[in-house]
Amino acid sequence: MGEALTLQLSGTRGNLDIHSIYAPTGNQRYPGMSLFARLVEVRTKISYLVRPSSSVLTLIGGDFNYVTRIEDRFSMSSASWSRVDDSRDEGHWNEVMGSNKDLHELHQPMATHEDAHVRSRLDRIYISQHLSNQLDVSLGCAPLEWDRTLSNHRPVIFFRRKGMPKTPRAGSLPTGPIKLNSWPSKVYLAYEELLRNKAWGNPCSAYSFSSVP
């Protein structure tokens, strides 16, 4: 039937909500209800529990039982991308959980499920952390090795590291200031100033952090 779990944590340094989902599959039968209708019901119920990103950091991960793109499901028999269309599922997710809840998927392009017929990227992780909080933090998402004695799925891990990667950052931000111990406080002060001035664009391109004392 599928299942979901919500863990809500509160502390002096902030709030954290962790939602784990194992969505219903096509092998299960629901009297008088299609699989799509059942998935809509599950996603809608979870959306009621997702609190505003201004008050809590939200993580949602697990087996969603649909893919977000045609290239996320590969047919083993025909050696081609599957023609199954999951766009309705992704459309409903974006409607109830995407920008509405400030959630975005952590990039992870590898397949996470395999059976005799297809390989699919069914397992994913979403986070509500704002872009401005990621300038001095490395976020990542990656699948572990297959263990077919346990499951046809392989686990997907999420990690958050303080500090920047050792490789040079691509883009408009210079690497020199990022290495300074004062960089996090400069980012904070600059972003607060942009908020006060209501300069809502991209803080990285609209402001020179080197000018902050």
Break the chain into its structural domains and give their ranges. 3-162, 175-211
What local confidence, expressed as pLDDT, does residue 101 receive? 86
Nearest to 42 by CA among 59, 57, 60, 22: 22
Architecture in CATH of 3-162: 4-Layer Sandwich (3.60)
pLDDT digits (tens, 9 = 90+) for 166-186: 555 556 666 777 788 888 888
Q: Where are the alpha helices (DSSP H) in 55-182?
A: 87-96, 175-178
- What percent of the chain has pLDDT above 90? 38
Q: Predicted confidence band at 97 (pLDDT cuts at 50, 70, 90)?
A: confident
pLDDT digits (tens, 9 = 90+) for 98-124: 777 889 899 899 999 998 889 999 999
Task: Inform me whether the pLDDT recorded for 210 exceeds 50.
Answer: no
Q: What is the mean pLDDT of residues 47-72?
A: 92
Nearest to 89 by CA among 142, 26, 27, 30: 26
> Which of 126 and 199 is assigned the larger pLDDT?
126
Q: What is the mean pLDDT of residues 117-145?
A: 86
What local confidence, expressed as pLDDT, does residue 152 receive? 92
CA–CA dist 196, 5 (Å, integer): 39
Nearest to 82 by CA among 73, 93, 91, 69: 73
Percent helix / strand / coil, the chain, rounded to 5: 25, 25, 45
Q: Are strands 57-63 and 14-22 parallel, antiparallel or unpaired?
A: parallel
What local confidence, expressed as pLDDT, does residue 201 receive? 52
